């Protein structure tokens, strides 16, 4: 039995724990989130990533969309590459029975609410791909929803806490440096609960020939505006349906490539096809 450190206590870290805990001794978690450092998960201590060289272990396990960045951080700290184990996409399941039930439950609530207030939204990215693969929404780390106006995001930030009640936390992330929005504006709404449900709500803004939304590393997802011109449709999921772009196939191809339906061995943020800096977007808009 090997002594293992797991990088991260978010959805990916917890999924790695479920995948390997039975046959390994999990001695620690490491996390970049200062709020988690010094606490415990599953009665296992959580340390700062910077403390990794002071821990005794055989391997560090990493996985999820930020695996490349995690690996680079560990190598920069002086950890040898043969100490780092990367779990493939197929080896990590974010889903548990309760997470599946609650993810479906809140998606019903949100879809009904969007319809009642007549607000356009659409599900996309890995959540939509999961539906197209015939799998549950809970198998991905988070479900991405988007609205089409910044005012809609402000409205939801104000009203979702009352709609969802005390079982869910509605957290706001704010803009620091954006093309169109000013610093301090809402970037994203994240809905979470103690069972690992994560729903992200963002919005797309116009920027020249494109629709764009902010990514977490200073770059921007961009799409041709024509993809959004077709309006919205419904896609069946289990015994209900959700809103999608009519041109969702073009959207997914532009973001992931034509083989998006296939489960990749490993997917990281570097595999997105449509991430650009402001300077790169400006050159495309000429």
| Phi, psi values for residue 248, rounded to 5° | -65, -30
pLDDT tens-digit map of 268-286: 778 899 999 889 999 988 6
- Answer whether 0.75 is exceeded by the pTM: yes
CA angle 115, 117, 121 (to 5 degrees): 55
In angstroms, what CA-CA distances link 138 with 65, 243, 272? Answer: 16, 17, 21
Can you tell me the distance from the alpha carbon of 202 to that of 213, in angstroms, rounded to the nearest whole number? 8
Pairing of strands 3-7, 25-31: parallel
pLDDT tens-digit map of 90-138: 777 788 899 999 999 999 999 999 999 999 999 999 999 999 999 999 9
- Sorted by where each starts, the structural domains of the chain and their CATH numbers stand as 2-91 (3.40.50.720), 97-285 (3.30.460.40)
Distance of CA 140 to the CA centre of its chain: 8
Distance of CA 177 to the CA centre of its chain: 20
Can you tell me the distance from the alpha carbon of 36 to that of 45, in angstroms, rounded to the nearest whole number? 10
Helix spans in 21-124 (H): 67-76, 97-116
Residue 274 is classified by DSSP as -
Q: Which pLDDT belongs to residue 178?
A: 53
Torsion over CA of 72, 76, 82 and 85, rounded to 10 degrees? -40
Q: Which pLDDT belongs to residue 186?
A: 84
Q: Which pLDDT belongs to residue 64?
A: 83
Closest CA relative to residue 267, chosen from 93, 138, 136, 89: 89
Please list the pLDDT of the chain residue by residue as tens digits (286 residues).
899 999 998 878 888 998 899 999 999 999 998 888 999 988 999 999 999 999 999 999 998 878 888 999 999 999 999 999 998 777 777 888 999 999 999 999 999 999 999 999 999 999 999 999 999 999 988 999 999 999 999 999 999 999 998 889 999 987 655 555 555 688 889 999 988 899 999 999 899 999 999 887 778 999 999 999 999 999 999 999 999 999 999 999 999 999 999 987 777 778 899 999 889 999 988 6
């Amino acid at each position: 039995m090997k002594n293992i450190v797991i990088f991260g206590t978010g959805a990916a870290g917890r999924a790695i724990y479920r995948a390997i805990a039975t046959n390994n001794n999990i001695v620690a978690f490491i996390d970049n989130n200062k709020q988690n450092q010094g606490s415990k998960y599953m009665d296992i201590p959580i340390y700062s990533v910077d403390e990794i060289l002071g821990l005794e272990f055989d391997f560090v396990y990493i996985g999820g969309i930020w695996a490349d960045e995690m690996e680079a951080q560990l190598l920069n700290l002086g950890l040898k590459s043969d100490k780092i184990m990367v779990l493939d996409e197929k080896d990590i399941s974010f889903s548990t029975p309760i997470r599946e039930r609650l993810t479906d439950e809140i998606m019903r609530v949100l879809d009904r609410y969007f319809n009642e207030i007549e607000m356009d939204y659409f599900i996309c990215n890995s959540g939509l791909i999961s539906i197209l693969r015939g799998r549950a929404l809970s198998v991905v780390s988070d479900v991405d929803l988007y609205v089409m106006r910044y005012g809609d995001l402000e409205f939801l930030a104000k009203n979702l806490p009352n709609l969802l009640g005390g079982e869910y936390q509605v957290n706001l992330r704010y803009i620091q440096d954006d093309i169109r929005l000013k610093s301090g504006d809402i970037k994203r709404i994240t809905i979470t609960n103690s069972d690992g449900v994560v729903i992200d709500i963002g919005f797309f803004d116009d920027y020249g020939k494109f629709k764009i939304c902010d990514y977490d590393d200073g770059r921007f997802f961009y799409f041709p505006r024509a993809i959004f011109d077709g309006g919205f449709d419904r896609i069946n999921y289990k015994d209900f349906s959700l809103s999608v772009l009519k041109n969702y196939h073009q959207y997914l191809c532009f973001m992931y490539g034509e083989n998006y339906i296939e489960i990749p061995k490993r997917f990281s943020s570097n595999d997105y096809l449509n991430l650009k800096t402001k300077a790169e977007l400006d050159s495309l808009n000429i």
